[in-house]
Structures are given as structure tokens and as C-alpha cells.
Structure 1
Amino acid sequence: MSLSTEALFTAALGLQAPWRVERAELSAAKKRIDFEVVCTERRLTCPHCGAPDQGIHESIERSWRHLDFFQFEAWLHAAIPRVACTACGKTSQVPVPWAREGSGFTLLFEALALSLCKELPVAHAARHLRADAKALWRRIEHYVKLARQKDDMSGVRHIGIDETSLRKGHEYVTAVHDLQQKRLLFVTEGRDHQTVNAFTQDLSEHGGSAQAISHVSMDMSAAYLKGAQQQLPQAAICYDRFHVAALAGKAMDEVRAAEFKSRPTAVAQALGELDRASRRSLSWAMRTHHASWNQRHIQAMYTLQRTNLQSARAWRMKGALREVYEAAAQGHGEEVARTGLTKWIGWAMRSRLEPFKRLARTLKTHFEGVIAGMQQGRSNAFVEAMNGLMQNAKRAARGFRTSRNFIAIAYLRLSKLKHLPANPFEYAAPRFAGLST
């Protein structure tokens, strides 16, 4: 049995009684198709109180952008009834099944937009959809807020706290990650101890408990330490390998930069056999693992290690600290980690290299947290990876004017939210079922 064009489009759009397509108009020149949708009933249930068989007071014309039909931009138009209820005395607009109230997009279009924004920068997704980027930002914020309201954090036990910069380091946000579920839990502006308080409040609102947090991995920020001690009394504080390694790398760079600036003649004589290109590659080789060196890097580092330069000692000290971590990661036990770190701190204090002496004092002050971080080495790689993903989220939000937009896209991409609309192309039917959250 053949279907009329209107019935075919009614089925294609997933419409059910009392809604149907009355007319479809296609413009090849504009690459656009417009669907006129009508309500076939004259008496409806009151949207406010649920009283049945109520009369229609008036209808209001509305339009919504829908998923493209092939290469054609699709729009739905409908006169939305307003029911005058004799039971409650209110006049209320009937909700439509294909869009949420106040939106100019259908639910399926919004679901597709969210799926694209998970993978593409928002500006690119907007160009792909031929939509306004600001409109997509509003949708992201709306659906992320709804999904987070339903998010369950009751099982959170191990967390990582980290900061990330916005706009060239002049503005910061604090991010809290679930190290077991490997997802972003919370983001807020700032990086003081109050950010930890804000997290515990948010955790409580989502079924979690600060008393249940047993492990906190973070950098050596005094603010985060204060916040954790105040708000997470049961948690063991540990400092992850990524941040300790970053401090060691910074100390080595300070030694190298100061020596190359203050003793250029001695440096030139010590590295005399290296050509200019090899000297330029030296600083990069000092910062990276030997597995990534090419022949030029190998030659440069071989030459450096045969000198008496402070830079050579600084590089060896950085490598020795890495070896302490590797020994702990190989399961040699806590005592090995304590002995190795204690010896390294003593060496650094005697090194006469001020950046490493400062680092040694820092590690000594936070000794127990550093040891705990060594014993919890399984979380270090994830903390580092999440920092990179946060930077990717920042690039996806390029052009954002507020930190609120950055926070929204971070939640969308990194929180593994379970209550977001699904990509409409992943499911065939029903078209609109379950999207109106």
C-alpha cells in the first residue's frame, strides 16, 4: 500500500497522533525543505493540571531547525495550541514532542550538535551545522547542567586535584578527577583552598561523601593542601609523579640557563666538538627520555656528560630522581622508596645547585605525600593524561568569552555523563523518545 507524501514525512519525522505533516515544500534553489505540522485534535489534555478534553483557546506559530534531509536544510513549522482549562482556570501551551520549550532546534538536532561538539571545536561544529556558535554554547550548557543533576558520585573514593590556566596564565580553574572511573568530576574558577570546599559541596549534592574519600593526588600547592586537610579529613594526601618530575625539569632548566648565560666561554670550550645544530638540540635532549633521541641528540648528550659543567650534574640529578620513582613502581616496597628519596634529597642539598637545593627542601617538607604518591603510582599517568585532555578542551572552546563555556565543554567531553542525548544516527527508532530531558 502506497503512502502519501505527507504520511511518508510524518513517519520519517517520527510524529505520532495528534501531530502529522500537512504539507512539505522543497526549494532546490535555497537547498531547504519546510514541513508544516498540524495538530489534528480540537480538544486536548490540560498541560498544567492534566484535566482531559479541554478546549483550545488559540494557537501560536513556531519554527524549529531540524536535521538535514540529505543536503537540504530542514525546518518544522507548527501552530502550537494553548489550552483553556475549565478545571484549573489556566491557559497553557501544549508541549510538542520534537522540541523542548523555548528552543529553536528540534531535540534530534540538539542531540547531533552535542555529539559533534564532543569531537570538534564548537566553532567548527557550528559551521558544519550552519548554526550560530552562541546557540550551540547555550545547548551545551543546558544539557550538561541537566546531565550533571542526575550524575551519581556515591562511589568516588580516589580523586586527583589539578589546576589549568585560561588565557595565558592570567586566569585559572581547578579540576577534580575520579582516578578510579577516570573521569572529570568537578571544575570551578580559582585555585585557592575554597575550591576544595566547593568540590565537597558538589560531591554531597551528587550522593557522594567527603568522609568516603580515601586518597587525594595533587601538586604541592599549599592552598590545595589546606583545602584537603580541612574538607577531606580521612584522605591520604599524595603528590603525583608528574608534578614532581615537572619541578625537577624546571630546576634543571634553571641551572642550564644560568650557566649558559653566566659562563658562555667555559660552556663553549666544554662543548667545543659539537656543531651548532647539536648544541641547539642539547636542551631538548636534556628534557626528554633517551628513547626519543636521534643520533645528534646522543652525540650531544655524550659530549655533555664528559664535561664538568653544572648542566651535566643537573641532568644526572633529574635522571636519578626518575630512577627512585621507577624503583618504587617496580614493587620494591615502601622502604626502598623512602631510602631512595632520602639519599636523593641529601645529594641535592650537597650539590651546590640552588634550584635543586630548593627542590630538595620542598620534597623534604612534603616527604610523606611524595612517598604516598610513589606507592600510588597507578594514578600518575592518568593525572598527566587528564591535564592534556583539559588543554584539548580549552582548544575546543577557542574563542570562549567566559570560563563558564570552558567548564561546560570540559564536562561534556571528560565527565562521561550518562544522561546526555544520544547521537541520533546511532539509533534508528523511536526518533524523539527519551530526548526531552
Structure 2
Amino acid sequence: MQKTSIWAALLGVEKTTVHHVDTCPETGVLLARVTPHKSLRNRCGICSRRCSRYDRGEGPRRWRTLDLGTTETYLVAHAPRVRCPEHGVIVAAVPWARHQAGHTRDFDQQVSWLATQCSKSAVTVLMRIAWRTVGSIINRVWKDTAKTFDPFADLKRIGIDEISYKRGHKYITVVVDHDSGRLIWASPGRDKATLRKFFDALGEERSAQITHVSADAANWIATVVAERCPQAVRVADPFHVVQWATGALDEERRASWNRARKAAEENEPARGRGRPPKDAPERPDSQKATKLKNSRYALWKNPEDLTVKQKVKLDWIVQTDPRLGRAYYLKEGLRTIFRLPHADAVVALDKWVSWARRCRIPAFVKLQKSIVKHREAILASIEHGLSNGRIESMNTKIRLITRVAFGFKAPEALIGLAMLSLGGRKPVLPGRG
């Protein structure tokens, strides 16, 4: 093998001639002077179309490539400009790097692989680059990866949700394929305009092929889904529905606690100045307020998950505060409906609505109106066995990625890292895939 071929293999470049390799005396880095093969010269940096040369550019440029051993290595070549009929005067393409990138393709590929597998400090120390540079690399690697496959192929059942990625109400809207479990689309924002971008990318023909859409009860999601794919069955997420009931139960618990506190203050006799003695007996109403304050988890948890102490507290609540006990049974009744067969669930849901409507607990009277409004979507989740469970699992993974991606300048880098990690197209190490 010739010397130039050996250097080309070591540097990981193709269709490139290696002319000379030496060490920079000032910095000690390795500099490899290269030129593209004749067939790849004078091509547009964006469309790779052969063009007429405009000038020689601003002199030699450097591209960071993978280290050789422990030595930092750069490719050095002239960067002439060409005149493209479509893009005008632009820097000519080179086979070893993307347009306007200061790193080679192999370098980008290794950084993106490390970012999906390692910690932030491991990537930056090993590759000797700043974390914001990692974000830029991930962004362009994902853009290139997205061109190589169709994320919307055979898309039938989708789930839509949003996740917060930064303080100040910064959200990302995510779309997941229920059948493959892949993250297929994500974009900054949480509104109708953001979701319409997804359906614009999907297209009218494929939007018409969507059969099921699961989501929470957000109006902006329901509006766009009804507008772009009205034939799809809209499915309410059971977790969010039960969460509504849990919120109503907690509202009633706080109301009961405040009533007990107020009763304790009204019945407490006048006392002197200063703190009461340590051995002073606590009034019964005050004891009730304290127990109600600390009963949140006994009321929230599923009956099968209660500890012995929590079961005792729950029995005490049912006996001493029938109204709060009734609110607890309403919450559990709604949760039980999602375990029933569809035919039984239809009857049970109507009975639950009737019960909540006349329960005289304001939080549940208000809740039953929301249940009636979303009745069809709730029953559809039972009939088709769909929920946002996959999306909630995906959101948990994205939250972990968000912690890793802290410090990226723009959300596009975070989205690129999430898509590379969860979109079914994970990067591979150079020379291994």
C-alpha cells in the first residue's frame, strides 16, 4: 500500500489525496494537507452541483478530525468558492466535511455517538471541545440523518403530548408512534401553530391514514386533530382523567382540613400570653386537622398499595369525615371504570356521572362536567386499549436527555439529541456500521 493510501486510511478520508503530513511547531498538532479528487472539485457546498470556479477563497482552512493516538489532528486544504446557478457564490464542497462545518464527518459521527451514550463531561474531555460545540454537531448530524429515512412510514396510531424543557414556560411538543414506540417528531412550542407544523410535514394523504390519536384533554390538540385528521378516533389518556379526580379529591381534603382548623379555633378557650406548656392536652378538633393535613398519600394511593398505617388512617377518615370519604370513593370509582370491559364501562361511567352530579361536593360536580365533555374519548381509550403511557415513558427519557443537554444554546440541539437517541436511528461509531 502506498504511503498516501495509508495516511488516507488513518485519517478516515475517502476520494481525497493526502499530500503531506507534519506537526505544527507552535501547537504540536498534526496537520495533514489534502485535496479532493478531481471529480469532486468545484461543486456547490449545498447541492453538490458542478459549478464554475469563482475564486480561490480566503486561503487554506482547517477541519478538525479524529485524533491520531493522543495527538490532535487537522485536515488542511484550500477552500475555493464557486458560482452556483441556484445558490450563488458559495464555498465549494469537500468530501470529508459538511458545508460550513469545522469538523470532519467522522468527528461529527463520533461526537454524536458519545453524546447518546456518555455523560457531558466525558464527551467534552475526550473530544476536547466545548459543550455548545457538541450541540451544533448534534444538530447537523440529525439533519443529515433525517434525510436518509422516512419517520412517517406506516404511521397509523400516534400520541401527542408536550414537555417542559426550560424555566419560563418553555415547551416541546412531541409525537410518538404507538406501534413502534419511536419518537417521530418534536418541535419547540405548545400551541396550535406548533402542532400544525407536524401535520404539514405529514401531508394530507398520510394524515388521512391516521386511525387513532391519544392525548390529554388540551383544547389546542383537540382542535388541530379535528381539523387535520377528523376521521381519527380521539382517545383520552386514562392517567390524566384519574389525575383530574385526584386533584378534585385533594381540593376537598384541603377544604376539610380548613373546616377542622376553623372549628378548632372557634372552640379553643382563651389562654394567656406565650406558648402553652408542653404537657398541655391538644384539642380534639386540632388533632383532626393535623390528621387530615397528613392524609394526602393515604387518599392518593391505590388501595392495593396502601401500608397498614395508611389503611388505618383511611378508615378513620371515612368514619370521622363522611364527605371526604365520599370524595375518596368517587375517585376510586372513576379509576375502576378503566378496568372494566367496554360495554360495562359505558354503563358504569353514566352511573358515576349521575353520582358525581348529586354528590354536593363542588370539586366533583365540576369534574363531572369535564367527564361528560370528553365522554367519547374516555370510552374510546377503554375500547381500543390506548393511553399516553408510551408518551409518558418517552417524556421521562426526554427529561433525562434535557438534563444532559443543559447548556445547549438552542432547543433544536436538544431535539436532535432526543431524535438520535429515541427515533430509531442511533448514530454508530466511524468504521463500525
Tell me whether the two structures share a fold, i.e. TM-score over 0.5: yes
The residue aligned with 1:198 is 197
The residue aligned with 2:187 is 188
The residue aligned with 2:169 is 170
Shift of 1:321: 1.4
Shift of 1:265: 6.5
Take 1:375 and 1:81, find their aligned partners in 2: how far apart are those partners?
62
Shift of 1:413: 3.0
The residue aligned with 1:47 is 42
2:321 alignment partner AA: N
Answer with 237-246 or 148-157: which moved more. 148-157
2:377 corresponds to which of 369, 381, 398: 369
The residue aligned with 1:343 is 351
The residue aligned with 1:423 is 429
Take 1:25 and 1:312, find their aligned partners in 2: how far apart are those partners?
79
Unpaired runs of 5+ residues, structure 2, are 44-48, 265-282
2:360 alignment partner AA: R
Alignment length, in residue pairs? Answer: 404
Shift of 1:266: 6.6
The residue aligned with 2:327 is 314
How high is the sequence identity, in percent, across the aligned residues?
25
| TM-score between both structures, scaled by the size of structure 2 | 0.78
Shift of 1:336: 0.8
1:54-77 superposed Cα distances (whole Å, 9 cap, x missing partner): 9x979942323333445x252123
User: Against the structure 1 CA distance between its residues 297 and 106, is the aligned structure 2 distance closer, same or farther, given a 3 Å change threshold?
Assistant: farther
User: Against the structure 1 CA distance between its residues 104 and 84, is the aligned structure 2 distance closer, same or farther, given a 3 Å change threshold?
Assistant: closer
Take 2:162 and 2:57, find their aligned partners in 1: how far apart are those partners?
54
2:207 aligned with 1:210: yes
Does structure 2 retain, via aligned residues, the 8 Å contact 1:155–1:208?
A: no
2:406 aligned with 1:393: no
Does structure 1 retain, via aligned residues, the 8 Å contact 2:19–2:33?
A: yes
Secondary structure of 1:242's match? helix
User: Against the structure 1 CA distance between its residues 10 and 281, is the aligned structure 2 distance closer, same or farther, given a 3 Å change threshold?
Assistant: farther
Shift of 1:156: 0.9
The residue aligned with 2:267 is none
User: Against the structure 1 CA distance between its residues 35 and 423, is the aligned structure 2 distance closer, same or farther, given a 3 Å change threshold?
Assistant: same
Does structure 1 retain, via aligned residues, the 8 Å contact 2:216–2:237?
A: yes
2:337 corresponds to which of 324, 328, 332: 324
2:111 aligned with 1:113: yes
Answer with 265-274 or 384-393: which moved more. 265-274
Answer with 15-24 or 345-354: which moved more. 15-24
2:99 alignment partner AA: E
2:30 corresponds to which of 31, 34, 46: 34
Shift of 1:298: 4.0
Take 2:135 and 2:180, find their aligned partners in 1: how far apart are those partners?
27
Take 1:81 and 1:172, find their aligned partners in 2: how far apart are those partners?
40
Does structure 2 retain, via aligned residues, the 8 Å contact 1:270–1:307?
A: no
The residue aligned with 2:140 is 142
User: Against the structure 1 CA distance between its residues 300 and 113, is the aligned structure 2 distance closer, same or farther, given a 3 Å change threshold?
Assistant: farther
Shift of 1:237: 1.3
Secondary structure of 1:394's match? helix
Take 1:39 and 1:147, find their aligned partners in 2: how far apart are those partners?
26
The residue aligned with 1:434 is none
Shift of 1:33: 4.9
The residue aligned with 1:256 is 253
Does structure 2 retain, via aligned residues, the 8 Å contact 1:158–1:216?
A: yes
1:63 alignment partner AA: R
Does structure 2 retain, via aligned residues, the 8 Å contact 1:286–1:301?
A: yes
Shift of 1:108: 1.7
Take 1:64 and 1:232, find their aligned partners in 2: how far apart are those partners?
47
Take 1:414 and 1:344, find their aligned partners in 2: how far apart are those partners?
39
Take 2:162 and 2:92, find their aligned partners in 1: how far apart are those partners?
46
1:374 alignment partner AA: I
The residue aligned with 2:158 is 159
Shift of 1:16: 5.5
| TM-score between both structures, scaled by the size of structure 1 | 0.77
1:407 alignment partner AA: I
1:36 alignment partner AA: A
User: Against the structure 1 CA distance between its residues 143 and 295, is the aligned structure 2 distance closer, same or farther, given a 3 Å change threshold?
Assistant: same
Shift of 1:243: 1.4
User: Against the structure 1 CA distance between its residues 16 and 273, is the aligned structure 2 distance closer, same or farther, given a 3 Å change threshold?
Assistant: closer
Does structure 2 retain, via aligned residues, the 8 Å contact 1:161–1:176?
A: yes
2:395 aligned with 1:384: no
User: Against the structure 1 CA distance between its residues 405 and 93, is the aligned structure 2 distance closer, same or farther, given a 3 Å change threshold?
Assistant: closer
When the two chains are superposed, the root-mean-square deviation of aligned CA atoms in Å is 3.9
Take 1:169 and 1:375, find their aligned partners in 2: how far apart are those partners?
38
The residue aligned with 1:432 is none
Secondary structure of 1:209's match? helix
1:19-66 superposed Cα distances (whole Å, 9 cap, x missing partner): 237435499x98x6514244598x766433769xx9x97994232333
Take 2:164 and 2:319, find their aligned partners in 1: how far apart are those partners?
40
Secondary structure of 2:295's match? helix
Unpaired runs of 5+ residues, structure 1, are 428-437
1:282 corresponds to which of 268, 275, 295: 295
User: Against the structure 1 CA distance between its residues 119 and 291, is the aligned structure 2 distance closer, same or farther, given a 3 Å change threshold?
Assistant: farther
The residue aligned with 2:272 is none
Does structure 1 retain, via aligned residues, the 8 Å contact 2:254–2:293?
A: no
Does structure 2 retain, via aligned residues, the 8 Å contact 1:242–1:383?
A: no
Answer with 185-194 or 7-16: which moved more. 7-16
